[in-house]
Chain A
Protein backbone atom coordinates (compact mmCIF):
# COMPACT_ATOMS: atom_id res chain seq x y z
CA UNK A 1 0.00 0.00 0.00
CA UNK A 2 2.51 2.54 -1.10
CA UNK A 3 0.97 5.62 -2.54
CA UNK A 4 3.98 7.48 -3.75
CA UNK A 5 3.64 11.14 -4.51
CA UNK A 6 0.19 12.68 -4.76
CA UNK A 7 -1.24 12.49 -8.26
CA UNK A 8 -1.58 15.87 -10.00
CA UNK A 9 -4.65 17.73 -8.81
CA UNK A 10 -5.08 15.59 -5.69
CA UNK A 11 -4.00 16.18 -2.15
CA UNK A 12 -4.02 12.94 -0.21
CA UNK A 13 -4.21 12.98 3.56
CA UNK A 14 -1.30 11.30 5.34
CA UNK A 15 -1.63 7.81 6.76
CA UNK A 16 -1.48 8.99 10.42
CA UNK A 17 -4.13 11.57 9.69
CA UNK A 18 -6.40 9.00 8.06
CA UNK A 19 -5.78 6.52 10.87
CA UNK A 20 -6.62 9.12 13.49
CA UNK A 21 -9.80 10.27 11.76
CA UNK A 22 -10.71 6.64 11.04
CA UNK A 23 -10.40 5.75 14.72
CA UNK A 24 -12.48 8.79 15.67
CA UNK A 25 -15.19 7.53 13.34
CA UNK A 26 -15.21 4.23 15.21
CA UNK A 27 -17.05 5.69 18.19
CA UNK A 28 -20.17 6.98 16.43
CA UNK A 29 -20.21 3.84 14.28
CA UNK A 30 -20.06 1.63 17.37
CA UNK A 31 -22.88 3.62 18.96
CA UNK A 32 -24.99 3.37 15.80
CA UNK A 33 -24.29 -0.24 14.82
CA UNK A 34 -23.74 -1.91 18.21
CA UNK A 35 -24.88 0.36 21.04
CA UNK A 36 -28.30 1.35 19.72
CA UNK A 37 -29.39 -2.14 18.55
CA UNK A 38 -28.25 -3.85 21.76
CA UNK A 39 -29.86 -1.12 23.87
CA UNK A 40 -33.13 -1.63 21.97
CA UNK A 41 -32.95 -5.41 22.50
CA UNK A 42 -32.17 -4.92 26.21
CA UNK A 43 -35.05 -2.48 26.57
CA UNK A 44 -37.45 -4.86 24.84
CA UNK A 45 -36.30 -7.80 26.99
CA UNK A 46 -36.84 -5.67 30.10
CA UNK A 47 -40.35 -4.83 28.91
CA UNK A 48 -41.19 -8.52 28.52
CA UNK A 49 -40.96 -8.44 24.74
CA UNK A 50 -39.48 -11.59 23.28
CA UNK A 51 -37.22 -11.01 20.30
CA UNK A 52 -35.60 -13.78 18.31
CA UNK A 53 -32.71 -11.53 17.35
CA UNK A 54 -29.79 -12.19 19.68
CA UNK A 55 -27.54 -9.54 21.21
CA UNK A 56 -24.59 -11.66 20.07
CA UNK A 57 -25.58 -11.49 16.39
CA UNK A 58 -26.16 -7.76 16.57
CA UNK A 59 -22.88 -7.14 18.42
CA UNK A 60 -20.73 -9.28 16.10
CA UNK A 61 -22.42 -7.89 12.98
CA UNK A 62 -22.08 -4.32 14.22
CA UNK A 63 -18.42 -4.79 15.16
CA UNK A 64 -17.61 -6.36 11.78
CA UNK A 65 -19.29 -3.52 9.89
CA UNK A 66 -17.57 -0.92 12.06
CA UNK A 67 -14.17 -2.51 11.47
CA UNK A 68 -14.71 -2.76 7.71
CA UNK A 69 -16.07 0.78 7.47
CA UNK A 70 -12.99 2.06 9.28
CA UNK A 71 -10.68 0.03 7.08
CA UNK A 72 -12.46 1.33 4.01
CA UNK A 73 -12.12 4.89 5.23
CA UNK A 74 -8.39 4.51 5.83
CA UNK A 75 -7.92 2.81 2.46
CA UNK A 76 -9.84 5.43 0.54
CA UNK A 77 -6.82 6.99 -1.22
CA UNK A 78 -5.63 3.56 -2.36
CA UNK A 79 -6.66 0.89 -4.85
CA UNK A 80 -7.79 -1.24 -1.87
CA UNK A 81 -10.76 1.10 -1.34
CA UNK A 82 -12.99 -0.74 -3.83
CA UNK A 83 -12.19 -4.31 -2.68
CA UNK A 84 -12.62 -3.38 0.99
CA UNK A 85 -15.94 -1.80 0.06
CA UNK A 86 -16.90 -5.02 -1.70
CA UNK A 87 -16.14 -7.05 1.41
CA UNK A 88 -18.11 -4.60 3.52
CA UNK A 89 -21.15 -4.79 1.27
CA UNK A 90 -21.02 -8.60 1.29
CA UNK A 91 -20.71 -8.66 5.09
CA UNK A 92 -23.61 -6.18 5.36
CA UNK A 93 -25.66 -8.38 3.05
CA UNK A 94 -24.83 -11.46 5.17
CA UNK A 95 -25.65 -9.57 8.36
CA UNK A 96 -29.09 -8.63 7.06
CA UNK A 97 -29.52 -12.20 5.79
CA UNK A 98 -28.88 -13.45 9.33
CA UNK A 99 -31.33 -10.93 10.78
CA UNK A 100 -34.09 -11.75 8.29
CA UNK A 101 -35.43 -15.01 9.80
CA UNK A 102 -35.36 -13.56 13.30
CA UNK A 103 -37.10 -10.29 12.42
CA UNK A 104 -40.06 -10.70 14.73
CA UNK A 105 -41.02 -9.86 18.28
CA UNK A 106 -43.69 -11.18 20.60
CA UNK A 107 -45.32 -8.70 22.96
CA UNK A 108 -47.57 -9.66 25.84
CA UNK A 109 -50.41 -7.16 25.69
CA UNK A 110 -52.55 -8.48 28.52
CA UNK A 111 -53.38 -11.65 30.40
CA UNK A 112 -54.95 -13.33 27.37
CA UNK A 113 -53.59 -11.15 24.59
CA UNK A 114 -50.32 -11.41 22.67
CA UNK A 115 -49.09 -9.29 19.78
CA UNK A 116 -46.58 -10.69 17.27
CA UNK A 117 -44.80 -8.24 15.01
CA UNK A 118 -42.99 -9.32 11.87
CA UNK A 119 -40.60 -6.69 10.52
CA UNK A 120 -38.87 -8.88 7.94
CA UNK A 121 -40.16 -6.51 5.23
CA UNK A 122 -38.20 -3.72 6.89
CA UNK A 123 -35.05 -5.86 6.75
CA UNK A 124 -35.81 -6.73 3.13
CA UNK A 125 -36.10 -3.05 2.30
CA UNK A 126 -32.71 -2.45 3.93
CA UNK A 127 -31.12 -4.89 1.46
CA UNK A 128 -31.13 -2.06 -1.05
CA UNK A 129 -28.29 -0.43 0.93
CA UNK A 130 -25.71 -3.26 0.63
CA UNK A 131 -26.86 -3.76 -2.95
CA UNK A 132 -26.00 -0.14 -3.75
CA UNK A 133 -22.75 -0.42 -1.77
CA UNK A 134 -21.85 -3.53 -3.75
CA UNK A 135 -22.47 -1.92 -7.14
CA UNK A 136 -20.58 1.19 -6.05
CA UNK A 137 -17.63 -0.88 -4.80
CA UNK A 138 -17.49 -2.83 -8.06
CA UNK A 139 -17.50 0.39 -10.06
CA UNK A 140 -14.84 1.92 -7.80
CA UNK A 141 -12.65 -1.18 -8.23
CA UNK A 142 -13.01 -1.02 -12.01
CA UNK A 143 -12.38 2.72 -12.01
CA UNK A 144 -9.28 2.38 -9.85
CA UNK A 145 -7.86 -0.30 -12.13
CA UNK A 146 -8.37 1.98 -15.10
CA UNK A 147 -7.34 5.24 -13.55
CA UNK A 148 -6.90 5.57 -9.79
CA UNK A 149 -5.65 9.11 -10.12
CA UNK A 150 -8.91 10.29 -11.65
CA UNK A 151 -10.88 9.13 -8.60
CA UNK A 152 -8.35 10.57 -6.20
CA UNK A 153 -8.63 13.94 -7.90
CA UNK A 154 -12.39 13.82 -7.27
CA UNK A 155 -12.28 12.39 -3.74
CA UNK A 156 -9.28 14.45 -2.58
CA UNK A 157 -9.22 17.55 -4.74
CA UNK A 158 -6.08 19.60 -4.20
CA UNK A 159 -4.91 22.99 -5.23
CA UNK A 160 -3.82 23.16 -8.81
CA UNK A 161 -0.07 23.29 -8.96
Chain B
Protein backbone atom coordinates (compact mmCIF):
# COMPACT_ATOMS: atom_id res chain seq x y z
CA UNK B 1 0.00 0.00 0.00
CA UNK B 2 2.72 2.42 1.08
CA UNK B 3 4.85 1.75 -1.97
CA UNK B 4 1.85 2.37 -4.18
CA UNK B 5 1.23 5.70 -2.48
CA UNK B 6 4.83 6.76 -2.97
CA UNK B 7 4.93 5.65 -6.54
CA UNK B 8 4.71 8.52 -8.97
CA UNK B 9 5.08 11.13 -6.22
CA UNK B 10 7.96 13.16 -4.92
CA UNK B 11 8.07 11.03 -1.81
CA UNK B 12 9.65 8.15 -3.66
CA UNK B 13 12.37 10.41 -5.05
CA UNK B 14 12.98 11.92 -1.62
CA UNK B 15 13.31 8.49 -0.10
CA UNK B 16 15.70 7.43 -2.87
CA UNK B 17 17.84 10.54 -2.35
CA UNK B 18 18.03 9.94 1.39
CA UNK B 19 19.15 6.36 0.89
CA UNK B 20 21.64 7.43 -1.81
CA UNK B 21 23.09 10.09 0.50
CA UNK B 22 23.62 7.59 3.29
CA UNK B 23 25.16 5.03 0.94
CA UNK B 24 27.57 7.62 -0.50
CA UNK B 25 28.48 8.85 2.98
CA UNK B 26 29.14 5.35 4.27
CA UNK B 27 31.15 4.31 1.18
CA UNK B 28 33.19 7.53 1.24
CA UNK B 29 33.82 7.32 4.99
CA UNK B 30 34.85 3.65 4.72
CA UNK B 31 37.16 4.39 1.79
CA UNK B 32 38.79 7.31 3.58
CA UNK B 33 39.14 5.35 6.81
CA UNK B 34 40.82 2.48 4.96
CA UNK B 35 43.05 4.87 3.00
CA UNK B 36 43.98 6.64 6.23
CA UNK B 37 44.79 3.36 7.94
CA UNK B 38 46.84 2.24 4.95
CA UNK B 39 48.70 5.56 4.87
CA UNK B 40 49.53 5.38 8.58
CA UNK B 41 50.92 1.86 8.24
CA UNK B 42 52.73 2.71 5.00
CA UNK B 43 56.49 2.36 4.99
CA UNK B 44 57.48 2.97 1.36
CA UNK B 45 60.98 1.90 0.53
CA UNK B 46 63.19 3.76 -1.85
CA UNK B 47 66.61 2.84 -3.14
CA UNK B 48 68.55 4.47 -5.88
CA UNK B 49 71.55 4.13 -8.09
CA UNK B 50 73.31 6.72 -10.25
CA UNK B 51 75.20 6.20 -13.48
CA UNK B 52 77.57 8.90 -14.76
CA UNK B 53 78.64 9.14 -18.36
CA UNK B 54 80.58 11.64 -20.46
CA UNK B 55 79.03 11.77 -23.90
CA UNK B 56 81.01 12.58 -27.07
CA UNK B 57 79.48 16.07 -27.29
CA UNK B 58 80.82 17.07 -23.87
CA UNK B 59 77.61 16.42 -21.97
CA UNK B 60 77.82 14.68 -18.64
CA UNK B 61 74.67 12.69 -17.93
CA UNK B 62 73.74 11.55 -14.50
CA UNK B 63 71.04 8.91 -14.70
CA UNK B 64 69.51 8.19 -11.35
CA UNK B 65 67.06 5.34 -11.06
CA UNK B 66 64.97 5.31 -7.94
CA UNK B 67 63.25 2.07 -7.01
CA UNK B 68 60.10 2.50 -4.96
CA UNK B 69 57.94 -0.12 -3.32
CA UNK B 70 54.46 0.31 -1.94
CA UNK B 71 53.25 -2.21 0.63
CA UNK B 72 49.95 -0.31 1.11
CA UNK B 73 46.44 -1.07 -0.13
CA UNK B 74 46.16 1.91 -2.47
CA UNK B 75 48.12 2.99 -5.50
CA UNK B 76 50.24 6.08 -5.91
CA UNK B 77 49.39 7.71 -9.24
CA UNK B 78 50.98 10.53 -11.24
CA UNK B 79 54.13 9.94 -9.25
CA UNK B 80 57.05 12.03 -10.39
CA UNK B 81 60.29 13.32 -9.01
CA UNK B 82 61.72 16.74 -9.69
CA UNK B 83 65.20 17.59 -8.58
CA UNK B 84 67.18 20.81 -8.58
CA UNK B 85 70.85 21.25 -7.80
CA UNK B 86 72.18 24.62 -6.71
CA UNK B 87 75.75 25.80 -6.48
CA UNK B 88 77.33 26.47 -3.10
CA UNK B 89 77.05 30.23 -3.72
CA UNK B 90 73.28 29.82 -4.03
CA UNK B 91 73.05 30.12 -7.82
CA UNK B 92 69.73 28.47 -8.28
CA UNK B 93 68.82 26.26 -9.91
CA UNK B 94 71.89 25.12 -11.71
CA UNK B 95 70.77 21.67 -12.80
CA UNK B 96 67.21 20.48 -13.02
CA UNK B 97 65.64 17.15 -13.82
CA UNK B 98 62.04 15.96 -13.92
CA UNK B 99 61.10 12.33 -14.17
CA UNK B 100 58.18 11.03 -16.21
CA UNK B 101 55.00 10.27 -14.28
CA UNK B 102 54.70 6.69 -13.12
CA UNK B 103 52.15 4.68 -11.20
CA UNK B 104 53.19 2.81 -8.09
CA UNK B 105 50.56 0.10 -7.73
CA UNK B 106 49.26 -1.16 -4.42
CA UNK B 107 51.58 -3.78 -2.99
CA UNK B 108 53.84 -3.30 -5.99
CA UNK B 109 56.95 -1.50 -7.05
CA UNK B 110 58.05 0.97 -9.71
CA UNK B 111 61.19 2.57 -11.05
CA UNK B 112 61.47 6.32 -11.47
CA UNK B 113 64.27 7.44 -13.80
CA UNK B 114 65.78 10.88 -13.34
CA UNK B 115 68.29 12.25 -15.84
CA UNK B 116 70.51 15.27 -15.30
CA UNK B 117 72.45 16.73 -18.20
CA UNK B 118 75.46 18.92 -17.72
CA UNK B 119 77.27 20.46 -20.66
CA UNK B 120 80.93 20.86 -19.83
CA UNK B 121 81.46 23.39 -22.61
CA UNK B 122 78.94 25.89 -21.23
CA UNK B 123 79.14 25.66 -17.49
CA UNK B 124 78.66 29.39 -16.96
CA UNK B 125 78.83 30.25 -13.26
CA UNK B 126 79.67 26.63 -12.52
CA UNK B 127 82.97 26.70 -14.39
CA UNK B 128 84.90 26.20 -11.17
CA UNK B 129 83.38 22.73 -10.95
CA UNK B 130 85.83 21.59 -13.62
CA UNK B 131 88.70 22.00 -11.22
CA UNK B 132 87.17 22.17 -7.74
CA UNK B 133 85.38 19.54 -5.73
CA UNK B 134 82.26 20.98 -4.18
CA UNK B 135 79.40 20.09 -1.91
CA UNK B 136 76.26 21.02 -3.83
CA UNK B 137 72.77 21.46 -2.51
CA UNK B 138 70.20 19.11 -3.96
CA UNK B 139 66.46 19.56 -3.50
CA UNK B 140 64.23 16.65 -4.42
CA UNK B 141 60.47 16.86 -4.75
CA UNK B 142 58.38 13.71 -4.93
CA UNK B 143 54.87 14.56 -6.12
CA UNK B 144 51.90 12.30 -6.58
CA UNK B 145 48.41 11.33 -5.59
CA UNK B 146 47.62 8.66 -3.04
CA UNK B 147 44.37 6.71 -2.97
CA UNK B 148 42.86 8.91 -5.72
CA UNK B 149 42.06 11.78 -3.35
CA UNK B 150 45.16 12.87 -1.48
CA UNK B 151 47.85 14.84 -3.27
CA UNK B 152 51.25 14.97 -1.66
CA UNK B 153 54.67 16.51 -2.09
CA UNK B 154 57.67 15.12 -0.30
CA UNK B 155 60.57 17.54 -0.17
CA UNK B 156 64.00 16.30 0.77
CA UNK B 157 67.12 18.41 0.84
CA UNK B 158 70.48 16.76 0.76
CA UNK B 159 74.13 17.40 0.05
CA UNK B 160 75.65 16.17 -3.17
CA UNK B 161 79.37 15.65 -3.41
CA UNK B 162 80.70 16.77 -6.76
CA UNK B 163 84.04 15.43 -7.87
CA UNK B 164 85.81 17.66 -10.40
CA UNK B 165 87.18 15.90 -13.49
CA UNK B 166 90.28 18.15 -13.39
CA UNK B 167 90.55 18.61 -9.66
CA UNK B 168 93.30 21.01 -8.56
CA UNK B 169 94.40 21.43 -12.15
CA UNK B 170 97.74 23.15 -12.36
CA UNK B 171 99.92 23.90 -15.40
CA UNK B 172 103.36 25.19 -14.54
CA UNK B 173 106.06 26.32 -16.89
CA UNK B 174 109.66 25.88 -15.83
CA UNK B 175 112.62 28.11 -16.62
CA UNK B 176 113.43 28.19 -20.35
CA UNK B 177 116.78 26.63 -21.24
CA UNK B 178 118.65 27.83 -24.34
CA UNK B 179 119.31 25.23 -27.01
CA UNK B 180 122.32 25.29 -29.38
CA UNK B 181 120.05 26.01 -32.35
CA UNK B 182 118.79 29.26 -30.79
CA UNK B 183 115.46 27.91 -29.57
CA UNK B 184 114.46 27.47 -25.95
CA UNK B 185 113.42 24.29 -24.15
CA UNK B 186 110.58 24.88 -21.64
CA UNK B 187 109.49 22.14 -19.24
CA UNK B 188 105.73 22.22 -18.59
CA UNK B 189 104.16 20.22 -15.76
CA UNK B 190 100.49 19.34 -15.85
CA UNK B 191 98.90 17.92 -12.74
CA UNK B 192 95.34 17.17 -11.69
CA UNK B 193 93.18 14.44 -10.26
CA UNK B 194 90.06 13.00 -11.81
CA UNK B 195 87.69 13.09 -8.85
CA UNK B 196 84.66 12.64 -11.08
CA UNK B 197 82.65 9.46 -11.28
CA UNK B 198 83.24 9.17 -15.03
CA UNK B 199 86.34 8.50 -17.09
CA UNK B 200 88.02 11.42 -18.85
CA UNK B 201 89.33 10.38 -22.25
CA UNK B 202 90.92 12.77 -24.77
CA UNK B 203 93.98 14.98 -24.78
CA UNK B 204 95.30 17.96 -22.91
CA UNK B 205 96.57 20.64 -25.26
CA UNK B 206 99.09 22.92 -23.52
CA UNK B 207 100.10 26.12 -25.35
CA UNK B 208 102.67 28.74 -24.53
CA UNK B 209 101.43 32.09 -25.81
CA UNK B 210 103.06 35.47 -26.04
CA UNK B 211 101.67 38.61 -24.42
CA UNK B 212 99.97 39.36 -27.73
CA UNK B 213 98.19 36.00 -27.75
CA UNK B 214 100.28 34.35 -30.46
CA UNK B 215 100.94 30.65 -29.92
CA UNK B 216 104.67 30.09 -29.54
CA UNK B 217 104.58 26.35 -28.85
CA UNK B 218 102.12 23.65 -27.97
CA UNK B 219 102.02 20.01 -27.02
CA UNK B 220 99.40 17.30 -26.68
CA UNK B 221 99.14 14.98 -23.72
CA UNK B 222 96.82 12.04 -24.40
CA UNK B 223 94.88 11.14 -21.30
CA UNK B 224 92.62 8.27 -20.39
CA UNK B 225 91.91 8.84 -16.77
CA UNK B 226 89.68 6.49 -14.91
CA UNK B 227 87.61 7.91 -12.08
CA UNK B 228 89.63 8.80 -8.99
CA UNK B 229 93.00 8.68 -10.72
CA UNK B 230 95.71 11.36 -10.79
CA UNK B 231 97.88 12.78 -13.54
CA UNK B 232 101.24 14.44 -13.05
CA UNK B 233 103.24 14.77 -16.25
CA UNK B 234 106.13 16.96 -17.28
CA UNK B 235 106.34 17.72 -20.99
CA UNK B 236 108.90 19.60 -22.97
CA UNK B 237 108.02 22.43 -25.34
CA UNK B 238 110.48 24.03 -27.75
CA UNK B 239 110.16 27.76 -28.17
CA UNK B 240 111.30 29.34 -31.44
CA UNK B 241 113.91 32.04 -31.00
CA UNK B 242 111.69 34.95 -32.07
CA UNK B 243 108.87 34.27 -29.64
CA UNK B 244 108.97 36.03 -26.28
CA UNK B 245 107.02 34.67 -23.34
CA UNK B 246 107.29 37.81 -21.22
CA UNK B 247 103.77 38.67 -20.05
CA UNK B 248 102.40 35.63 -21.86
CA UNK B 249 100.54 32.66 -20.51
CA UNK B 250 100.37 28.89 -20.44
CA UNK B 251 96.97 27.89 -21.73
CA UNK B 252 95.51 24.44 -21.37
CA UNK B 253 92.53 22.93 -23.11
CA UNK B 254 90.97 19.52 -22.70
CA UNK B 255 90.13 18.24 -26.17
CA UNK B 256 87.86 15.29 -26.86
CA UNK B 257 86.66 14.16 -30.31
CA UNK B 258 83.45 16.18 -30.09
CA UNK B 259 84.23 19.10 -27.81
CA UNK B 260 86.93 21.20 -26.13
CA UNK B 261 86.97 22.69 -22.66
CA UNK B 262 89.40 25.47 -21.69
CA UNK B 263 91.06 25.04 -18.32
CA UNK B 264 92.42 27.82 -16.09
CA UNK B 265 95.44 29.53 -17.70
CA UNK B 266 98.69 30.18 -15.89
CA UNK B 267 100.32 33.61 -16.26
CA UNK B 268 103.99 33.65 -17.13
CA UNK B 269 106.40 36.13 -15.53
Residue A1, interface by CB 8 Å: no
Q: Which of A112, A120, A135, A136 touches B158 (beta carbons < 8 Å)?
A: A112
Would A113 and B152 count as touching, CB distance under 8 A? no
Are A118's CB and B14's CB within 8 A? no
The 8 Å CB contact of B157, one of A112, A120, A121, A146, is: A112
What CA separation (Å) do A125 and B21 show in the bound complex? 12
Residue of A nearest to B158 (CB): A112
Flag whether A119 is at the interface (Cβ < 8 A): yes
A150 located at the interface, meaning its Cβ lies under 8 Å from any Cβ of chain B in the complex: yes
Judged by a CB distance under 8 angstroms, whether B34 is at the interface is no
A23 to chain B, nearest CB (A): 23
| Overall SS of chain B's interface | helix
Expressed in whole angstroms, the Cα–Cα distance for A60 and B187 within the complex equals 85
A-contacting residues, B7-59, CB 8 Å: 9-11, 13-15, 17-18, 20-21, 24-25, 28, 32
B159 vs chain A, min Cβ distance (A): 9
Is B6 on the interface with A (CB-CB < 8 A)?
Answer: yes
CB distance from B44 to the nearest CB of A (A): 11
Residue from B17, B32, B155, B156 within 8 A of A135 (CB atoms): B17
Assess whether A143 is in contact with B9, with CB atoms less than 8 Å apart. Answer: yes
Contacts of B20 in A (CB 8 A): 132
Tell whether, in the assembled complex, residue B2 and residue A128 are in contact, meaning their CB atoms are under 8 Å apart: no
Give the top 4 A-B pairs by smallest Cβ distance, nearest first. A118-B151, A132-B21, A121-B149, A143-B10
